Amino acid sequence: MAEIVQNAPERSDDRTARERMMAALRSRTALGLALLLTLAVFWLLGQQQGATLSEMLSLTVWGVMLGGIIALGAIGLTLVYGVLKFPNFAHGELVTLGAYGALTFAAVLPMGPPMLPFSFGWELVAALILTMPAVSLIALAVDRVLFRPLRKRVASLVLFAMASLAAAFFLRSAIYLVWGSDFLFYYPGRANPAIDFPLDIRVQADQLFVFGLAVVLVILTWFLLERTRMGKAMRATANNPDLAQVRGINTERVIAWTWILGASLAAAGGVMYGLASQLRPEMGFWLLLPMFAAAIVGGLGSPVGAIAGAIIIGVAQQVSSAFLNPAYGPGVAFILLVIVLVLQPQGLFGQGGE
Amino acid sequence: MNGADLARAAFLFLPLVLLGLLVLPGRTALRVPLALIAAAVVALALPLLLPRGVLTYLASFSTMAGIYAILCLGLNSQWGLTGHVNFGIAGFFSIGAFTSALFTTTMPQGALAAYSQQLFGLGWPFMAGILMAGVVAAAAGFLVSIPVLRLRTDFLAIATLGIAEVIRFIFQNERWLANGPQPMRGIPRPFDCVFADPACSWLPAGVARWVAPLAPRDYVFLYLVIVALILAVVFLLLERISRSPWGRLQRAIRDEENSAAMYGKNVTLRRIESFVLGSFIMGVAGAVYAHYVVSIDYSHFNPLFATFIVWVMVMLGGSGNNKGAILGAFAVWGVWSGAAFVIDVLSPALQAISPDLPSRGAYLRWMLVALLLGLIVLFRPQGIIQERKKVSDFISDGRS
Amino acid sequence: MALLEVRGVTAGYGDTEILRNISMEVGEREIVSIIGPNGAGKSTLMKTIFGLLHPREGSVVFDGHDISRLQPYQIVERGMCYVPQVANVFTDLTVSENLEMGAFLAKTNDIAARMERIYEYFPRLKERRNQRAGKMSGGERQMVAMGSALMLDPKLVLMDEPSAGLSPKMVGVIFDQIRKINEAGPAILIVEQNAKLSLEMSDRGYVLASGENRFEGTGKELLNDPEVGRLYLGG
């Protein structure tokens, strides 16, 4: 059923839409291929440096797990980007606050025996559940004090970015003040048994828990966004904030829920990261670049994209440690970020137009 | 007033003249003699009024503030002039510092070589080090700007942040380059033989006699003069550039991105030019820093000290405004330094709250600076001194 | 008292004044058209009524309450919905999700029933209900936009140039639906370029020019008025 279009720049007929879609798909596939190619190159470089197949596989598996942690932060980052339309440079501090918050909560709770085969007791799980709303409150407070007045004034993107930078340093100073600069552990000195898998892959039980929890949280998030009214309202507001207002959606409430969801996921990511490695005040900032990379690689505003991006980044970082100094991890994330920005800034799952 | 005081006053004279020329209003014919007289008066008064420790502190304060002012001018020529949001200042700052260090130090010999590695050490003079620092930083800026400048504002910010982090990693991990993570030491201070005993062989006898009462710890007074001169040169250069047709074109690009895009490729080239210019200046600032602190390592250039605080300074002083950039640098550095005193005074109270707190006092200062930026963004985003013409669209807060 | 009364409204953006002393009204269950040349302020009037813009002078009274200072979502709560001219669907959401968003403020739990009613007006939407709105044609999007606005059973629906960008056949279909919708309930206020078509089905109309009232009358009166015809009914 062909329909003739009259001079309307906003509407398109089927054919042009399809054509545009083809073009987008083409470049998106190209992007995906470029990323896979990069990973393959890393793999080859690693093997060239003498890493065995099982070592490379282990790295890849650990990379997927690191990706899970990054994903928890990246989803929140991409949601905030989609709904509030600015890059939140303070998101890393939400991750750090989650980790340290859980440390404090776990310290006041009665300590139980480790839940084998994991290294932690029930108190850490309880602390995780407590730290998520706590960090959400902090995020809401920052929004109320800093970002909401800027929204009312329709301030420029740069001011939002600057404000989030100020919030980032404020929160990080607070973390240093409260907990100090030493490296801390949830369970110093406790054994962390590894489980053997076929192909000589060794994975710590804790790492499996981290990954499992990340999967569970991601599924919950998907459910929230796809099946609840508030979740759909969040997607709607990200898609078209003016129309959301017109439809009667209370955008301030949507924004509040976006912060709650994003901060909770970030906090959980922080606890997972603290469990898998250690707690330090810069830990969130160390993850910030990979999180941004994941969100942009996946396509801003798309949680699915953030997950895909996070896995890619995580694997890239881990696999590259076979031939690079592991400290360069975020640098690797950065290179992937630049590849995406140069080839196809919309990312893998980004929307065609904003 | 003894000989030492007079000597110090003599060193203070030039920076004070430059300060006067910057701040005093009025036509040139009036300002110059006024500045000269006022500077002479103040220069002579200060050693009389202030104890020596305080005077020395003031000199070192001004030196650091001056270094930051150069950094701010560098940022301003990117952000203020063309609207580039560069969150990677630390990267160019560090490149400048390490470059100058590499060019001006000599390769470690003998036993020292076991502890300290560096890529090269040419032992070149100070000014050459400064120049090379600027050139290398500018080259880095050029390389960075090619892929990155086309990006929209938020992507540019993220990308530049990433670049600075990568640069920091490199300096932190690559031993062969600049002894990372260990510090590079022994960066030569220009003219420090002036304060040695006996003074430099090339000093005329009259001058040598006159600086004789000064001790090596008075070196900061000489370095202040050097910083003030470099700052003045950079400032004048930028003022000239900003009034030139090139400068006006940059502002046009900043303010009306869409119509300037009609110029096509030229716009990208112009934007690269301004980014490279800013990088050059940041490199120079890095070099000046390196020769002041004598020993540098990657930790000096973390985003807190070397990117964030510069943005606070530029935002406070007024974006797009060179004079504001300098004043903002002094103001925020004043807040930072003043906070140190306040926190020292409050130390017993802090101790009462928690025994760990006094040692973490530095972070209270960071909180203060972060609060300051928050307040600026909320209440005065255009800064204290507004651009004489139209305020940049980039910092529109919707109210004007 | 009429359902909607605009009394002496002056409004604009920034320093400019677009509307000057506009007065008009819409009675219950009426179809009222606002026509006039480009730049006359028709869209601005609609935005002012809906709270996207606040009047500098005068007032907007809806259902007996002064809504001049209310936010759009508060106005939606009171029973007025708006179909914007452009960007009027959530492109990333499916048809049914779009409709669901239309009922965001619904106090009752009968979203499905409401959606069925909309599907009766626009059967084509029911077929495509799981399709992303962004992939649909202009006419279908217009249906989604209008359907979303109807989900809350509003008393008054504002439509901003519903025929824009549509093929003549589609325009006919849409206007037919508008008539049917009006028969079932809400009053409709239409801003239209296609003045003739719009006036044909309107109970009353207003002609705006340069931000001021020019003519008013019943649809027929305006259609047959030679001066109106000469000036504004060319297309």
**The pLDDT value given to residue A23:** 65
Q: How high does pLDDT run on average in chain A?
A: 85
**The pLDDT value given to residue A4:** 40
Helical H segments across A49-121, by residue range: 53-84, 91-108
Closest CA to A168 of A144, A148, A138: A138
Indicate yes or no: CB of A235 within 8 angstroms of CB of C90.
yes
**The pLDDT value given to residue C235:** 43
**The pLDDT value given to residue B400:** 38
Contact C17, C10 (CB under 8 A): yes
Residues of chain A contacting C93 with CB distance shorter than 8 Å: 232, 235-236, 239
Closest CA to C62 of C155, C133, C142, C197: C155
The DSSP-derived string for B307-359 is IIHHHHHHHHH-TT-HHHHHHHHHHHHHHHHHHHHHHHHTHHHHHHH-TTGGG
Cα nearest neighbour of C142 on chain A:
A11
Q: Which of residues 289-348 of B touch A (CB under 8 A)?
A: 303-304, 308, 311, 315
Contact C105, C73 (CB under 8 A): yes
| Token code pair at residue B393 | 């669209």
SS3 state at A155: coil
Q: Find tokens 């083409």 and name the residue.
A: A26
SS (H, E, C) B70-130: HHHHHHHHHHHHHCCCCCCHHHHHHHHHHHHHHHHCECCCHHHHHCCCCCCCECCCHHHHH
Buried b (16+ CB within 10 A) or exposed e, B232-251: bebbeebeebbeeeebebbb
Which has more confidence, C141 or A115?
C141
What is the per-residue pLDDT across A69-99, written as a single tens digit (0 to 9) for each?
Answer: 999 999 999 999 989 999 999 999 999 999 9
Which has more confidence, A50 or B167?
B167
Torsional sign, CA C188, C191, C194, C195? positive
Q: Which helix H or strand E contains C205, and what residues bound it?
A: strand C204-209
Residues of chain C contacting A8 with CB distance shorter than 8 Å: 138, 164-166
Residue A42 pLDDT > 70: yes
Which has more confidence, A258 or B19?
A258
Identify any residues that bridge with B184 across adjacent strands, giving them in sequence order.
B296
Contact B131, B291 (CB under 8 A): no
Q: Kindly list the distances between the CA atom of residue C150 and the CA atoms of A173, C73, C117, C147, in Å, as whole numbers in the listed order.
A: 51, 15, 9, 5
Residues of chain A contacting B395 with CB distance shorter than 8 Å: 156, 158-159
End-to-end, the C-alpha distance of chain A in Å comes to: 28
Residues of chain A contacting B154 with CB distance shorter than 8 Å: 86-87, 157, 161
**The pLDDT value given to residue B264:** 57
Indicate yes or no: CB of C101 within 8 angstroms of CB of A8.
no
**The pLDDT value given to residue B263:** 56
Identify any residues that bridge with C31 across adjacent strands, giving them in sequence order.
C188
Residues of chain B contacting A347 with CB distance shorter than 8 Å: none
Pick A239's closest partner by Cβ from C92, C169, C170: C92
Chains in contact with C via at least 3 Cβ–Cβ pairs below 8 Å: A
| CA of C137 vs chain A CAs: smallest distance (Å) | 6
What is the per-residue pLDDT across C186-207, written as a single tens digit (0 to 9) for each?
Answer: 999 999 887 888 888 888 888 8
Pick A240's closest partner by Cβ from C52, C72, C90: C90
Note whether B158 contacts A: Cβ–Cβ < 8 A.
yes
Indicate yes or no: CB of C92 within 8 angstroms of CB of A232.
no
Pick A169's closest partner by Cβ from B85, B159, B304: B304
**The pLDDT value given to residue C184:** 85
**The pLDDT value given to residue B333:** 93
Tell me which of A96, A162, A296, A343 to substitute to probe the interface with B (most B C-beta atoms closer than 10 Å). A162
The DSSP-derived string for C58-121 is EEEEETTEE-TT--HHHHHHTTEEEE-SSS-S-TTSBHHHHHHHHTTT-SSS-HHHHHHHHHHH
Residue A7 pLDDT > 70: no
Note whether A226 contacts C: Cβ–Cβ < 8 A.
no
Contact A283, A100 (CB under 8 A): no
| Token code pair at residue A34 | 């470029």
Q: What is the pLDDT along chain B (400 residues), one digit of tens a residue?
A: 677 888 888 888 888 888 888 888 778 788 888 888 888 888 888 888 888 888 889 999 999 999 999 999 999 999 888 888 899 999 999 999 999 998 888 887 777 776 777 777 788 888 888 999 999 999 999 998 888 887 888 888 888 988 998 898 888 888 888 777 888 888 888 887 777 776 777 777 777 777 777 777 888 888 999 999 999 999 999 989 888 888 888 877 777 655 655 555 567 788 888 899 999 999 999 999 999 998 888 888 888 778 999 999 999 988 778 889 999 999 999 999 988 888 888 888 878 887 777 778 888 888 988 999 999 999 988 888 776 554 445 554 444 3
Note whether A103 contacts C: Cβ–Cβ < 8 A.
no
| CA of B358 vs chain A CAs: smallest distance (Å) | 9
Sequence length of chain C is 235
Closest CA to B376 of B322, B288, B321, B314: B314
Whether the ipTM is more than 0.95: the answer is no
Indicate yes or no: CB of A334 within 8 angstroms of CB of B311.
no
Which has more confidence, B135 or A112?
B135
| CA of B61 vs chain A CAs: smallest distance (Å) | 23
Chains in contact with A via at least 3 Cβ–Cβ pairs below 8 Å: B, C
Pick B159's closest partner by Cβ from A166, A333, A338: A338
Judge C/B contact: 3 or more CB pairs < 8 A: no
**The pLDDT value given to residue A26:** 59
Q: At what angle do helices A329-343 and A303-320 cross, to 10 degrees?
A: 130
Band of pLDDT at residue A231, cut at 50, 70 and 90: very high
Note whether A225 contacts C: Cβ–Cβ < 8 A.
no
What is the per-residue pLDDT across A232-243, written as a single tens digit (0 to 9) for each?
Answer: 999 999 888 889
Residues of chain A contacting B166 with CB distance shorter than 8 Å: 328, 330-331, 334
End-to-end, the C-alpha distance of chain B in Å comes to: 54
Tell me which of A93, A96, A177 to substitute to probe the interface with B (most B C-beta atoms closer than 10 Å). A177
Contact A317, A67 (CB under 8 A): no
Contact A83, A234 (CB under 8 A): yes
What region does B26 belong to: left with phi over 0, alpha with psi -120 to 50, or beta? Answer: left
**The pLDDT value given to residue B380:** 86
Please give the model's pTM, rounded to 2 decimal places.
0.86
